[in-house]
Homo-oligomer: A and B are copies of this chain.
Amino acid sequence: MAKRTVYCGEVSADLVGQIITLKGWVQKRRDLGGVIFIDLRDREGIAQVVFNPAHSKEAWEIADKCRSEYVIEITGELTYRDKEAVNPKMKTGEFEIMATDITILNTAKTPPFLIEDENNVGDEIRMKYRYLDLRRPKMTANLKLRHEITKSIRHYLDNTDFIDIETPYFGKSTPEGARDYLVPSRVHAGHFYALPQSPQIFKQLLMNAGFDRYYQIVRCFRDEDLRGDRQPEFTQIDMETTFLTPEEIQTMTEEMLAKVMRDTKGIEVTVPFPRISYDEAMARYGSDKPDTRFEMELIDIADVVKDVDFKVFQMALENGGQVKALNAKGAADKYSRKDMDNLGTYVSQFGAKGLAWLKVEEDGLKGPIAKFLTEVSDDLIKATNAEVGDILMFGADKPEVVAAALGAIRSRLGKELGLIDESKFNFLWVVDWPLFEYDEEAGRYVSAHHPFTQPKESDIELLSTNPAKVYAEAYDIVLNGYELGGGSLRIHKRDLQEKMFETLGFTKESAQEQFGFLLDALDYGFPPHGGIALGLDRLVMLLAGENNIREVIAFPKNGKAADPMTNAPSVVSPLQLFELNIDVTAIDE
């Protein structure tokens, strides 16, 4: 084999007149008046190769046998194309190679789909032939972007005193958080390792060990039911620091993300990113990860409607709930009564009993509930800044339900009404999270983030009396309505950590059994520390302009956590099970 001179996609003017060698895949072969043209593709792009029997009959004959996706090596002179043959849409469209040599390195059957960006192939078939799917320029570009992003991140962290330290994938199963993936131990019968949901405790122990600044781009595992943006394994940019304030950690994260945007997208984002408290985010956007690329905020109209004779509003307010409105500007002629009924059905999944609404028309407010609001219609129009053509939609319920329902409506309308500027990258910090959520099913408080989160100093005394009112030194970073990541200061005092476990329902014994090693570690000079973890898959997805993280993962799993290519997971041999001291109690087909 000769040496490749350059990637196909990188032939350029400085090589014109030289004999070059290219290697790649046949994208297309055409025969025009006895001359064969091959579009040769590699990861960097496409170059046009010309086989003229007048130059080399032998090469022409081999080229004539080439079919799509054959792997070939060609040698010839790089020349400028004739003016009329220049293809301005193609990066190398000015050039062609007059081939005098060609070697077929491998043949190919006709692929099950075209190797092009727009091929409308189903997800399962794409995954079954992932190696062909990845040949599509868009997929190649996505994985290259992924590498550019990790490179930029590593560059930032390597240059700001962070040390990349690997933590174990074989850890211990703990009862908090999502479901663990387990690995049976052969050596210890009946015992299991757990794959990490995150390296949380290990990175804290590294701070205890004095490493000061740790990072890792690390795989994590959660055995949860899958959704579009979830995979059984996902990659986390994991950072932890010692002696820093939340603001200092946030500033570092901002600098890192600003560098990523600059390095990979050529975009200058403004730092500092806006900061909004969790409570304000829920109040204004009905979401803890608001998409701030458009307005349409939730407006509290309790004051306006508190005296009207509309039972739904009255009941909500009397029960300590809220009445809030969304103004969908200019939506009136886009949403029929039937569309509004559909939205009503849509919000019911968030616990809302329905969706009250009004259209703003020349002669006032119209719609099913207009008659109840006649008296306050001027105030309502003023409060919501309503104009003719708008639709006002209302939520009246417990605050959580109002937020969930109107927040979901807001997201949906933002897309449907085209309010979102897709070129924008709106980063946002959501800070001051509650420390706990109440889990109705379990009948107890659970950690909003994880059990190692530092409560606000002033709230610590509420831990035993009113956990719901305890706020945390916790912060999430949001991009375009997606949670990119979250972090916090962590507890570094044993008594506080014990108190925390107690509040979460642990007994002294169960806390010691599950987390004894961490509690012990807190005895030996554990420094104040905190950090953040960002979802790499999601970050790449957003920067690639994709809607599903599968598009930025080389070999993802499908919606059933399976790989249609290798058929993993699969049945294993009885010997394997025997050695692991386990039996299977059921086998799916």
Interface residues of A (CB under 8 A from B): 1, 4, 7, 23-26, 41-43, 69-71, 73, 105-109, 111, 128-135, 140, 143-144, 146-147, 150-151, 154, 158, 163-173, 175, 179-195, 201-202, 205-206, 208-212, 219, 221, 223, 232-233, 235, 242-243, 245, 492-493, 517, 521, 523-528, 553-555, 557, 560-563, 565-573, 576, 579-588
Please tell me which one of the listed residues B185, B209, B492 contacts residue A106 in the complex, with CB atoms under 8 A apart.
Answer: B492
Would A134 and B190 count as touching, CB distance under 8 A? no
Known pairs A26-B525, A191-B570, A194-B568; list 9 more (Cβ under 8 Å).
Answer: A25-B525, A105-B528, A134-B206, A170-B561, A171-B568, A179-B186, A179-B576, A185-B569, A189-B587
Contacts of A70 in B (CB 8 A): 525
Closest to A585 in B: B581
Asked if B173 and A147 sit within 8 Å, CB to CB, the answer is no
Known interface pairs A130-B205, A192-B572, A524-B111; A553-B166 also in contact (CB < 8 Å): yes
Distance in angstroms from A17 CB to nearest chain B CB is 24
Say yes or no: B209 contacts A135, CB within 8 Å: yes
Q: How far is the CA of A41 from the CA of B579 in the complex (A)?
A: 47
- Chain B nearest CB: distance from A286 CB in Å? 32
Given contacts A190-B586, A492-B106, contact A182 B580 (CB under 8 A): yes
Q: Decide: A569 and B170 in contact? CB cutoff 8 A.
A: yes
Q: Are A524 and B190 in contact (CB under 8 A)?
A: no
- Cβ of A179: which chain B residues have Cβ within 8 Å of it? 186, 576, 579
9 A-B interface contacts by CB (under 8 A): A7-B212, A131-B524, A151-B154, A168-B233, A170-B233, A170-B561, A171-B568, A188-B560, A189-B586
Inter-chain contacts of A140 with B (CB < 8 A) = 209-211
Chain B residues positioned under 8 Å from A521 (CB to CB)? 131
Interfacial chain B residues near A7, Cβ < 8 Å: 212
Residues from chain B with a CB closer than 8 A to the CB of A185 are 561, 569
Cβ-neighbour of A528 out of B106, B131, B163, B557 (below 8 A): B106
Q: Which residues of B are found within 8 Å of A561, using beta-carbon distances?
A: 170, 185, 187-188
In the bound assembly, the distance between CA atoms of A567 and B528 in angstroms comes to 25
Tell me which of B527, B567, B585 contacts A583 (CB under 8 A).
B585
Check B554 against A166 for contact (C-beta < 8 Å).
Answer: yes
Q: How far apart sit A521 and B553, CA to CA, in the bound complex (Å)?
A: 19
Q: Are B188 and A569 in contact (CB under 8 A)?
A: yes
Choice from B109, B209, B581, B584 contacting A523 with Cβ under 8 Å: B109
Oligomer: number of copies = 2
Q: A1-B245, A588-B188 are in contact. Are A557 and B208 (CB under 8 A)?
A: no
Contact of A147 among B146, B165, B242 (CB under 8 A): B165
In angstroms, Cα B576 to Cα A347, docked, is 34
In chain B, what residue has the closest Cβ to A205? B131
User: Is the pair A525, B143 in contact by a Cβ cutoff of 8 Å?
Assistant: no
Least Cβ–Cβ distance between A496 and chain B, in angstroms: 11
Q: Tell me, in angstroms, the Cα distance from A525 to B67 when the chains sit together.
A: 10
Query: Which residues does chain B contribute within 8 Å of A111, judged by CB atoms?
Result: 524
Instruction: Provide the residues of chain B in CB contact with A134, threshold 8 Å.
Output: 206, 209-211
Q: Which 7 A/B pairs are nearest by Cβ-Cβ distance? A: A190-B587, A108-B525, A134-B209, A191-B569, A172-B568, A69-B525, A189-B586
By a CB distance below 8 angstroms, the chain B residues around A528 are 1, 71, 105-106
Task: Please indicate which of the listed interface residues A69, A71, A171, A493 has the most CB atoms of chain B within 10 Å of its own CB.
Answer: A71
Asked whether, in the complex, the Cβ of B130 is within 8 Å of the Cβ of A173, the reply is no
With a cutoff of 8 Å between Cβ atoms, the chain B residues found around residue A172 in the complex are 563, 566-570
The interface centre, meaning the residue of A105, A131, A151, A573 with most chain B CB atoms within 10 A of its CB, is: A131
Query: Are the C-beta atoms of A186 and B223 separated by less than 8 Å?
Result: yes
Cβ contacts under 8 Å, A582 to chain B: 184, 582-585
Closest residue of chain B to A588 (Cβ to Cβ) is B189
Decide yes or no: A581 and B572 within 8 Å by CB, A43-B211, A183-B195 being known contacts: no
Task: Using CB atoms, name the residue of chain B closest to A194.
Answer: B568
Pair A523/B223 contact, Cβ less than 8 Å: no
Across-interface contacts of A583 in B (CB, < 8 A): 582-585
* Residues in B whose Cβ lies below 8 Å from that of A190: 571, 584, 586-588
Contacts of A555 in B (CB 8 A): 167-168, 202, 205
Most buried by B among A26, A143, A166: A166
Output the residue of A175, A493, A560, A568 with the most chain B CB within 10 A.
A568
B144-A163 in contact (CB<8A)? yes
- In angstroms, Cα B109 to Cα A561, docked, is 47
Contacts of A130 in B (CB 8 A): 205, 209
**In the complex, what residues of B have CB within 8 A of residue A209's CB?**
130-135, 140
CA distance A132 to B130 in the complex (A): 46
In the complex, which residues of chain B have a beta carbon less than 8 angstroms from the beta carbon of A132? 209, 524
Which residue of B154, B167, B180, B243 is within 8 Å of A23 (Cβ)? B243
Whether B150 contacts A164 by the Cβ 8 Å rule is: yes
Which residues of B are found within 8 Å of A568, using beta-carbon distances? 168, 170-172, 193-194
Contact B186 A526 (CB under 8 A): no
> Smallest Cβ distance from A353 to chain B, in angstroms?
34
